[in-house]
Amino acid sequence: MATVITNLLSAIPFIGKDIVPFIWGGFSVSNPTIQRFFALHYLLPFILAALVVLHFIALHTNGSSNPIGITGNIDRISMHPYFIFKDLITVFVFLFVFCLFIILSLGLFAQQLNTDGEPHFDKITGIKFIKPYYPDGVNYDFFYELTITKKGNDYYITGKWENPGTAEIETFKKKLEVYKKICLKDKDGYIYAYDIKENTLADIQIRETMNVDLYFRKSSKK
């Protein structure tokens, strides 16, 4: 790809064939080429910023030009505060949309688990759930027929899942541990709890960027 793009410069009349080896730093794309492009990518934003500053200086000194050459000093509006305020609105709108996207990607607005602060392990133990409820909005269709059992003080979950790689149905059994006092967690980062409004088993996958406490919304069953 780099060879094809840089060879486009060879189409420049007279000097094109001499520019390409200079950019390559040799007879072909190699390590010097990568270093030069890295330096260009680093310096280019500063060069563009300097050109923007020079443009603003020229605009403030001489004003905007027009095709008919008539001065517009009579109708001129100062850049501050009018245009600065207008541009700041655009910047704030962009930052708002950007922050909203980040917040949504972290799952802060995702549907939460409804709980009253009690574990209710008895309501999810010994029952086969064809499909669990996913409060985080992600539907893991390859998990089904989940059953949580208790042996002594230990909890286990068994079920079936469709292996995405082979498309074969496989059974699994995992040991669970009590997590946050109201749910159970397996070694793969999935937590299982009772949702008092949905009246069923809820399944949430823990991610590194997730604030788990946000998913536990205390409420009363209606």
Cis peptide before 135 (omega within 30 of 0): no
Packing angle of the helix pair 31-62, 16-24 (nearest 10 deg):
110
For residue 30, pLDDT over 90 is answered with no
Calpha distance 45→47 (Å, rounded): 5
221 — pLDDT class (breaks 50, 70, 90)? very low
Distance CA 88, CA 193 (A): 46
- Give me the sheet containing 183-185, strands edge to edge: 128-129, 143-151, 154-162, 169-179, 183-185, 190-195, 200-205
Each residue of 159-193: pLDDT tens digit?
A: 988 876 677 888 999 999 998 888 899 988 888 99
- The residue behind tokens 């909890």 is 155
pLDDT at 73 over 60: yes
Burial of 27 (0-12, 13-18, 19+ CB in 10 A): exposed
Angular region, 152: left φ>0, alpha ψ -120 to 50, beta rest: left
pTM of the model: 0.48
Domain ranges (residues) in the chain: 2-68, 113-218
Residues 124, 191: Cα–Cα separation, whole Å: 13
- Please check the confidence at residue 89 and state whether its pLDDT lies above 90: yes
- Residue given tokens 């980062």 in the structure block: 189
Helix (H, G, I), strand (E, B) or coil at 44: helix
Give the pair of three-digit tokens for residue 19: 């520019």
pLDDT for res 94 = 95
Supply φ then ψ for residue 171, to 5 degrees: -100, 155
178: Cα within 13 Å, side-chain hemisphere = 9
Show the CA angle centred on residue 136, arms to residues 130 and 142, nearest 5°. 35
- Spatial CB neighbours of 128, under 8 Å, sequence gap ≥ 6: 145, 146, 147
* Both tokens assigned to 152: 């002594």
pLDDT of residue 49: 95
At 148 the pLDDT is 94
What pLDDT is recorded for position 165? Answer: 67
Q: What is the pLDDT of residues 127-148, one digit of tens each?
A: 988 888 887 666 666 778 899 9
Q: What percent of the chain has pLDDT over 90?
A: 23
User: Residue 181 gets which letter from DSSP?
Assistant: T
71 or 96, greater pLDDT: 96
pLDDT category of residue 222 using cuts at 50, 70 and 90: very low
Closest CA to 204 of 219, 218, 188: 188
> 93 pLDDT exceeds 80?
yes
